[in-house]
Amino acid sequence: MWGGRYKLGPAEIMERINASIGFDKRLYAQDIAGSMAHAEMLVARRIISAADGRAIRRGLAQVQAEIESGKFRFSTKLEDIHFHVEARLTELIGPAGGRLHTARSRNDQVALDVRLWVRDALDRFDAMLLDLQTALIDRAEEHAATIMPGFTHLQTAQPVTFGHHLLAYVEMFGRDRGRLADCRARLNESPLGAAALAGSPHPIDPRMTARALGFDRPMANSLDAVSDRDYVVEFLGAASLCAVHLSRLAEEIVIWCSAPFRFIALSDAFTTGSSIMPQKRNPDAAELARGKTGRILGAFVALCTMLKGLPLTYGKDMQEDKEPLFDAADSLELGIAAMAGMVRDLKANKTRMRAVASADYSVATDLADWLVRKAGLPFRQAHHVTGRLVGIAHERGIDLHELPLADMRAVEPKIDRGVYRVLTVEASVAARKSPGGTAPANVARAVGEARRRFLPARRRR
């Protein structure tokens, strides 16, 4: 591989630590696409002959077919996917295969391959998150009026609707898609043409290869082109936050499935049993989506740590970008797919949700708000009055709506019988009509708005 400078082969341990083919073979399609574009440019600029260009294209197509059919033989002796493709190409077409690397280095080649791979991953994840949002929006529409408890500190706070709760995650995943789109826009520049680090003496046309590969433009600085991995860090950062959002929803699914809550049930498709306890139904898909978050966050930290001490331009350390990248992408893909499946699979226990939403004096704030609106009390005074009434009800073991009017008036004489109209969970959620609030009518409108904002026309109903 190294031409005339090296007389001896590498030590066995050197071969092992240096080889990346075990993981970078995933880049074969991007490597071949880049090579195709590079060959076309070399022909157009008369750096290689048209005949050599045709042979290269034909040979690369055969190499790709061999890889995709499983017939291609990989070896650590050829180190990486770039050498594998070039070596097999030369076997197939002879000396013309060696001309492909004219005006190109593995440095700009791998920078291109990884950039193309991340771009493909970004497009794939946008489509997957769109599918997850679609599932959430559909379920939110179904449960626009399904009452459940809203929590702060995991304590019952105020009634909300299940649809409203699910739409919160639609917003989160919408922001995730926005971050992925931002990353894609910034990475969409081609490093090809930077060669090793300083550019090429050949009359190349980087704009031609950039256009052929769907990039907006070639990168402006050759040093930056081969050393930049910002787009990998940015992708892993966006993936990390997306994984956190998946984990939060997964945690809620785990809680909601538990016996003390019983808000939802998952089918056999997304649960597992116990080897010893036959009654168990474990929400393992949710737990694994939650658990994989650490791997994705770890990949982000690993890449930042690898890059932080590197001078320009390329260091072999940068080979360590791929395994964390691939592992994080695989983990995120599983997590998104599993979550979309669970959202579509879950069955809501409406009776149980409403029962818990009605407990623990969840309409106390509605009483305080009524005292402000109808009795004219300052909110702090209304808060104090409500607290006293909650205390009395708690001592008697009854709900607020079960307190006799006379007992309420003994605490605050301005209270009249109209107060009982606000002391139900249905009245509570219906009253919250402020923008972004949980009123069922709001949720129904928000579903339509979410479809317009996030879903392409073919997915709207």
Catalytic machinery residues: 153, 274
Query: What is the three-state SS of the chain?
Result: CCCCCCCCCCCHHHHHHHCCHHHHHHHHHHHHHHHHHHHHHHHHCCCCCHHHHHHHHHHHHHHHHHHHHCCCCCCHHHCCHHHHHHHHHHHHHCCHHHHCCCCCCHHHHHHHHHHHHHHHHHHHHHHHHHHHHHHHHHHHHHCCCCEEEEEECCEEEEEEEHHHHHHHHHHHHHHHHHHHHHHHHHHCEECCCCCCCCCCCCCCCHHHHHHHCCCCEECCCHHHHHHCCHHHHHHHHHHHHHHHHHHHHHHHHHHHHCCCCCCEECCHHHCECCCCCCCCCECHHHHHHHHCHHHHHHHHHHHHHHHCCCCCCCCHHHHHHHHHHHHHHHHHHHHHHHHHHHHHHCEECHHHHHHHHHCCCCCHHHHHHHHHHCCCCCHHHHHHHHHHHHHHHHHHCCCHHHCCHHHHHHHCCCCCHHHHHHCCHHHHHHHCCCCCCCCHHHHHHHHHHHHHHHCCHHHCC
In order of 122, 124, 261, 286, 304, the CA distances from 329 in angstroms are 10, 10, 33, 18, 16
Q: Closest Cα partner for 38 from 111, 91, 93, 94?
A: 111
Q: How many alpha carbons fall within 13 Å on the CB side of residue 262?
A: 9
CA–CA distance, 337 with 135 (Å, rounded to integer): 11
Residue 215 identity: F
CA–CA distance, 338 with 58 (Å, rounded to integer): 40
DSSP secondary structure letter of residue 11? P
CA–CA distance, 215 with 207 (Å, rounded to integer): 9
